[in-house]
Amino acid sequence: MSENDTECRPLDGDGDGESDGDGPVSAGPVFDTASPLPISSVQEKPGIATSAASIGWLVALAMVIVLGARQWLVTTPYFALRSLRVEGASHRSRDHYAAHGDLVLGRNVLAIDLADVRRKLLAEPWVEEALVVRRLPGSIDVTVREREPAAVIALDEPYLVTASGNIFKAVEAEELVDRPVITGLTAEDLADAVGHGRELLRRALDLAAEFERGPLGDAMPLQEVHVERSGEMLLRVGTQGVALELGQGPYRHKLDVAAKVIAEVERRGGKPTALLLDGAGTSERVVVRAR
């Protein structure tokens, strides 16, 4: 017998298969090698499929409830727009901005797309920036920052222009804009790829602002800034349209000299009609025409 063989001994006796007496012979343990060992099997549980179907129905029911609740929220009179506040309106009325943003009293505030309202407001040329806030249950607050026209530029028709040179809209018949007029430039000048026309426009706007801050700004309101393509500037000021021929810049000293000369002419009883200050940047010599 090898060492890997298994020895089976009888429970009683000396191992020769026979008993010492007349009793039965014990043959030891018996192994049935013909039948395979039992294998445990997994039974399919019908409850799993039933649970999945139940979850599906619950999800569908929840979606129906959510959609129904949303439909109720966007249609219930409880959230109807009852208060609309518009701040920052100066050049346009509150009602104009409400109509432009499609903000109608009675409309459900939850159904209002605030981003869409803001886009519509920004499409209005006067509006530079807009903020729209919803306040439940029934209020909308609108704040606009309007563009401020620094001048009117005379092109094929008059347009409003900001201090930074942004031409943002044509002047409408009902708009009364008490701003100086810039003349001498054309649409072709402003479309110049080199940017020379735009630079002249910015210089004209800077000169207008400098004049209005100076000693003549209140006494003789600025009426017109005429721009030559060479860069020379001419102002018409006061109710009589006194011409100040300033030539090239810088202009601050020339404007100070103009104020002194006009004051002296008026002290002597004259009324100036034009001042030539082209050389006043380097000399105090000024040519005056008066009546």
Q: Over 161-183, what HEC string results?
A: EECCCCEEEECCCCCCCCCCEEE
Q: Are 140 and 167 members of one domain?
A: no
Q: Are 156 and 122 members of one domain?
A: no
Residue 110 lies in a domain: yes
Q: pTM for this one?
A: 0.72
pLDDT in the model for residue 115: 97
In the sheet with 222-227, reading across from the earlier edge strand, the strands are 167-170, 158-162, 149-154, 181-183, 222-227, 233-237, 242-247, 272-276, 287-290
Q: Are 227 and 202 members of one domain?
A: yes
Q: Are 128 and 242 members of one domain?
A: no
Contacts of 138 (CB under 8 A, 6+ apart): 78, 79, 80, 81, 82, 83, 109
Report the SS3 class of residue 256: helix
Q: Are 90 and 135 members of one domain?
A: yes
Domain ranges, residue 190: 149-290
Q: Are 164 and 273 members of one domain?
A: yes
Q: How far apart are the first and last CA of the chain?
A: 149
**Cis before 137 (ω within 30):** yes
CATH number for the domain harbouring residue 235: 3.40.50.11690
From first to last of the 291 residues of the chain, give the pLDDT tens digit.
Answer: 444 444 444 444 444 444 444 444 444 555 454 555 454 444 555 555 567 666 765 665 556 565 555 666 768 889 999 999 999 999 999 999 999 999 999 999 999 999 999 999 999 999 999 999 999 999 999 999 999 999 999 999 999 999 999 999 999 988 878 999 999 999 999 998 889 999 999 999 999 999 999 999 999 999 999 999 999 999 999 999 999 999 999 999 999 999 999 999 999 999 999 999 976 555 567 899 988
Contacts of 201 (CB under 8 A, 6+ apart): 153, 161, 165, 182, 185, 190, 227
Closest CA to 185 of 150, 158, 209, 208: 158
pLDDT in the model for residue 11: 44
Residue 25 lies in a domain: no
Do residues 182 and 207 make contact, with C-beta atoms less than 8 angstroms apart?
no
Do residues 216 and 255 make contact, with C-beta atoms less than 8 angstroms apart?
yes
Q: Are 119 and 251 members of one domain?
A: no
Q: How distant is the alpha carbon of residue 215 from its chain centre? A: 40
pLDDT in the model for residue 40: 47
Residue 212 lies in a domain: yes
Q: Are 124 and 176 members of one domain?
A: no
Q: Are 135 and 154 members of one domain?
A: no
Given 122, 146, 170, which residue is the final one in a domain?
Answer: 146
pLDDT in the model for residue 2: 43
Residue 273 lies in a domain: yes
Q: Are 130 and 157 members of one domain?
A: no
- The C-alpha atoms of residue 46 and residue 52 are separated, in whole angstroms, by 11
Q: Are 163 and 282 members of one domain?
A: yes
Per the structure, the count of domains in the chain is 2
CATH number for the domain harbouring residue 108: 3.10.20.310
Q: Are 209 and 265 members of one domain?
A: yes
Residue 63 lies in a domain: no
